[in-house]
Amino acid sequence: MKKFILCVATLFSVNSFVIAADSAGNRKDQIFRVGQKSGIHLMYLISSPFVLEFPGEELTFGFVYGSGDLKSTTTSGSSTVEDIWTFTTTELTGRYYLGNSFNIPFGVAIYNIHKDDWTYSNVNYELDYNMTQLNFGIGNDWTYDWGGFLAIDWYQGGIKLSDKITVTRKSGTETSATKAAAEEESTDVNAFGGALILTFGFGF
């Protein structure tokens, strides 16, 4: 799926300057557009979020949502344990255009990281971590005469506003040490950022 996204984005970018010369006018003619987001950004790579945007000549606003699993395996002796972390992306986004396509992307994001089973010293926990952060960056947004669009955020930074940890014991005898270990596992997360973030789709 991610290879497909990159191939389509490459195809779009080849013709960006040829048939998206009036990106501002093309955005103004659209009511809404839908697409998908990926790039060098941990949350987007795993959750592959979908995008719903309401484009405009000077401002575009949108909603982003997606969820996916990060899987890893740990082998100890003859036993293999699979770890599954679920990453969920929810964003309210905007773009302020300084020209035909060049823009300042911004928004508020809620990123969730969840694990159903995490065991420490024979105590099993459910971990849930929520982070709210501000996103900002620089990018281009080409909107084609035939309705398609390709946005590339060359850089995206983030500032963490708040976070919340929920640690729920599922089985075993909890001690202060096991609870502290579970909470530490959940809080080792900084604000997310990325580069070369691609959003492509079609407008109506």
Confidence band for 76, pLDDT divided at 50, 70 and 90: low
Q: Which run of H or E residues covers position 18?
A: helix 16-19
Q: What is the DSSP letter of 187?
A: H
Sorted by where each begins, the domain ranges of the chain are 2-203
Mean pLDDT value across the chain: 86
Cα 177 from Cα 174, distance rounded (Å): 8
Q: Is 12 helix (H, G, I), strand (E, B) or coil?
A: helix
Q: How far out from the chain centre does Cα 41 lie?
A: 7
Rg (CA), the chain: 20
Domain 2-203 matching CATH 1.10.15: the answer reads: no
Cα 91 from Cα 66, distance rounded (Å): 10
Strand partners, 69: 86
Whole-prediction pTM: 0.81
Cα 149 from Cα 190, distance rounded (Å): 31
Cα 101 from Cα 62, distance rounded (Å): 17
Only one residue has tokens 């109506």, namely: 204
**Tokens linked to 141:** 């947004």
Higher pLDDT, 174 or 198: 198
Higher pLDDT, 89 or 9: 89
Q: State the pLDDT at residue 138.
A: 98
pLDDT surpasses 50 at 84 = yes
Q: Is 2 helix (H, G, I), strand (E, B) or coil?
A: helix
Which pairing describes strands 102-120 and 79-97: parallel, antiparallel, or unpaired? antiparallel
pLDDT surpasses 80 at 22 = yes
Higher pLDDT, 76 or 7: 76
